[in-house]
Amino acid sequence: MRIAVGQFAASPEWKDNLGACLDLAAEADRGGADLLVLPEGVLARFTEDRHRIREVAQPLDGPFVTELAAATAHSSTTVVVGIHEPSDDGRVFNTLVVLRAGELIARYRKIHLYDAFGDQESANVRPADEPPVVVEVAGTKVGLMTCYDVRFPELARLLTDAGAEVLALPAAWVRGPAKERHWEVMIAARALENTCWVAASGESGPRNIGNSLIVDPLGTVRARLATGQGLAWAEADPGVTAAARSTLPVLANRRFAVDPTVRPLGTLPLGA
């Protein structure tokens, strides 16, 4: 499977961001990408007044998703990208949409919200209580995660248990002391402990680090972007995955299963 990860700096204007997504999708299609992973929450980005995402959120049949889906109608590329979607409690969902052949084929609403490092995503975003999502792309199963989800290895393991050989990880990774190191270490860790590929798209711009990565099942970075707009490419060869799982049989050697139950926030004891 040919993977492209794309990044750009989102603005407060959804039409500008749609244009950037359309440009990257067209470039990915020209390059023969089976899968294009774009950043998290790019419908609109507000570095201040982040509550405004409540005002500009769009439903999944709104113009942003509809127009981007239409652009895939005559393409062989499956596009994964994040938007904000209204919920019924006044907040929004942080939702990944999967678009192919002109259609919305799947969605994943973010489970783990970024209430850390002084941020409080849950002030404006509603955490989902839905199970993880796996889709098939070019004969390969792809698991969906969003940004802060990468800090929770049990989610990546659940997706791997569901057959994922690639994890698609759209993100808007906020700058901060050691944060870029955290990003790189955890992407490599999720790849290594599950012997899978990780295609991680990081939004660039004044608040976020960019640094989109494609990492292989033995933790090697196969492609990387710095801070500008563009695409990075890699071939996720199933033979490489099979060889890694033979050489490093961590999935076969493990002794514990992960409970797929989604628990309410605050109900797990510290250390659980």
Q: How are strands ordered across the β-sheet holding 221-224?
A: 134-137, 140-144, 166-171, 197-202, 213-215, 221-224
What pLDDT shows up at residue 30?
98
Give yes or no: 110 in active site: yes
CB 206 within 8 A of CB 47: yes
How confident is the chain (272 residues) per 10-residue block, as mean pLDDT?
98 98 98 98 92 96 98 97 97 98 98 96 96 95 98 97 98 96 98 98 96 98 96 97 98 95 85 58
Which candidate in 21, 110, 165, 196 is catalytic? 110
CATH topology of domain 2-248: Nitrilase/N-carbamoyl-D-aminoacid amidohydrolase (3.60.110)
- For the question of residue 40 being annotated catalytic, the response is yes
d(CA 140, CA 163): 9
The residue from 21, 85, 121, 147 that is catalytic is 147
> Strand locations in the chain, DSSP E?
2-7, 35-37, 78-86, 92-100, 103-109, 134-137, 140-144, 166-171, 197-202, 213-215, 221-224, 230-235
The predicted structure's pLDDT at residue 84: 98
Q: What pLDDT shows up at residue 47?
A: 84
Structure tokens at 10: 């989102």
Residue 235 a catalytic site member: no
> Which amino acid, residue 11?
S
d(CA 82, CA 17): 11
Contacts of 219 (CB under 8 A, 6+ apart): 188, 189, 191, 192
Q: Determine if the pTM surpasses 0.75.
A: yes
pLDDT at residue 271, rounded to an integer: 65
Structure tokens at 212: 């989109």
| pLDDT computed for residue 254 by the predictor | 97
If DSSP codes are grouped into helix, strand and coil, which group holds residue 58?
coil
